[in-house]
Amino acid sequence: MQPSHELPAFLVEHLSRGQAAAPTGAISQQELVSRTFETDRGSQFFDAVSVPEAAEIAAEVRRLRPEHSLEIGCCSGASALCILHALEGNGRGTHHVIDPFQTSYARGAGLANIRAAGLTERLDFHEAFPEAVVPGLPRLQFAFIDASHLFDLSILDFVLVDKRLDVGGVVALHDLWMPSLQDVVRCILANRSYRALHVQQAPPATARARLRRWLGAGLSRLPRAADFFRGELLQPWESLGLGNLVFLEKTGEDTRGWCDHVRF
Ligand SMILES: C[S@@+](CC[C@H](N)C(=O)[O-])C[C@H]1O[C@@H](n2cnc3c(N)ncnc32)[C@H](O)[C@@H]1O
C-alpha cells in the first residue's frame, strides 16, 4: 500500500514525524498511564493514527463509498482528514465528527487542521457527547471509534453506532493494544453479528503472548472448558491475530433473545 497516493501529502509528512508505535503486548497499568501522556502536544497532529493506519482507513472509505460516515474522537483531526479526503475522492458522502473535548483537550486543533486543508465542505462537526448526537444521525455505512478508550464508554459508542449502521457497513476501532478495547472487540465478535475484515498484520508475538497462547490451547482441551474458563483464557487476544486497528463488518441485525450472552 502506498499511503502517499491515498492521503494528503502534508498529513503523511506530519504524521511520519516521530510517532511512537503502539505497544506490541500487554503492559502494566502504570506503564499504560505514562504512555498515555507521552504524546507530542507541540506538533500539528497529536494522539493520531499512524500513516499506515490512516491509509487503511482511507482505503476502506474508498471501498465502501459511504453516503454518511461517522467518527467519534477527532482530536487534532488526522483520521478525520484522511476520511474527508477519501470522501472527496469518492465525490460523495458527509462525514459526521463528534468530539466533546475538541476545545478543552484538543485546543481546536482538529477543526483548525481540517479548515487549513480546505476539507470542511463534507464535514458535520459536533462538539458534544456521542449519546446526544448519534441517535439523530442518518443511516451510516462507515464509523470510526477512537474516543474515550474506556471499556464501558467504548461499548456505549459501539451500541450507538450499531443502531445507525447499515448491514454491510463497517465500524473500525483503534488502539487495540489496550486491554479495554480488546475486550470491546471480543464482546462484539462473541455476541453480535459482526466479522473482522482484512485483518491488519498483528505485531510479532512476545514471549508472554506465546505463553498465553500455549496455556489457552492446553486449557481448551479440557472437557467443558468453556463452562469453567473465560474466553480470554481459552482464546487469548494474541491468538486472534488482530492488529492495532480493526475493521468489523456488520453481517446482520441484532436478533438476540433477552437472555442471550456469550462470555468473552
Ligand atoms: C486518540 S484521540 C483521537 C485521535 C484521532 N482519531 C486521530 O487519529 O487523529 C481521542 C479523542 O477522543 C476524545 N474523547 C475523549 N472522551 C470522549 C468521549 N467520551 N466521547 C467522545 N470523544 C471522546 C478526546 O477529546 C480526543 O480528542
Q: Is the pLDDT of residue 18 over 80?
A: no
CATH architecture of 3-18+40-202+241-250: 3-Layer(aba) Sandwich (3.40)
Q: What's 163's DSSP letter? A: H
pLDDT more than 90, % of the chain: 70
CA atoms 245, 251, 254, 256: torsion sign: negative
Report DSSP state, residue 26. Answer: -
Question: Which residue has 488526522 as its cell numbers?
Answer: 78
Q: Which of 7, 51, 56, 75 has the most ligand 1 atoms within 8 A of CB, as the residue to mutate?
A: 75
How many residues make up the chain in this entry? Answer: 264
Pocket of ligand 1 (CB under 6 A): 47-49, 72-79, 98-101, 105-106, 129-130, 146-148, 153
Cα separation values, 95 from 91, 110, 122, 163, 215, Å: 13, 14, 6, 17, 44
CA dihedral over 72, 78, 83, 88, signed as positive or negative: positive
The mean pLDDT value for 92-121 works out to: 96
- In this prediction, residues 108-128 reach a mean pLDDT of 96
Residue 106 alpha carbon, nearest atom of ligand 1: 27
Q: Dump pLDDT digits (tens) for 41-61.
A: 556 888 999 999 999 999 999
Distance 248 CA to ligand 1 centre (A): 19
Domains in the chain: boundaries: 3-18+40-202+241-250, 204-240
Dihedral-angle region of residue 157 (phi above 0 means left; psi in -120 to 50 means alpha; beta otherwise) = alpha
DSSP code of residue 202: P
> Which residue has 512476545 as its cell numbers?
206
| pTM recorded for the entire structure | 0.89
- pLDDT of 12: 85
Question: 470510526: which residue's cell?
Answer: 144
Q: What are phi and psi of 143, to 5 degrees?
A: -140, 145
Ligand 1 centroid to Cα of residue 149, in Å, is 8
Residue type, 197: L
Could you give the 3-state DSSP secondary structure of residue 5?
Answer: helix
Backbone angles phi, psi at 90, to 5 degrees: -70, -25
Q: Give pLDDT, residue 28.
A: 54
Buried/exposed code over 205-221 (b: 16+ C-beta within 10 A; e: otherwise): beeebeebbeebeeeee
pLDDT digits (tens, 9 = 90+) for 194-253: 999 976 666 777 888 889 889 999 999 999 998 899 888 999 988 888 999 999 999 999
Beta strand 165-174 with 245-250 is antiparallel
pLDDT digits (tens, 9 = 90+) for 145-160: 999 999 999 999 999 9
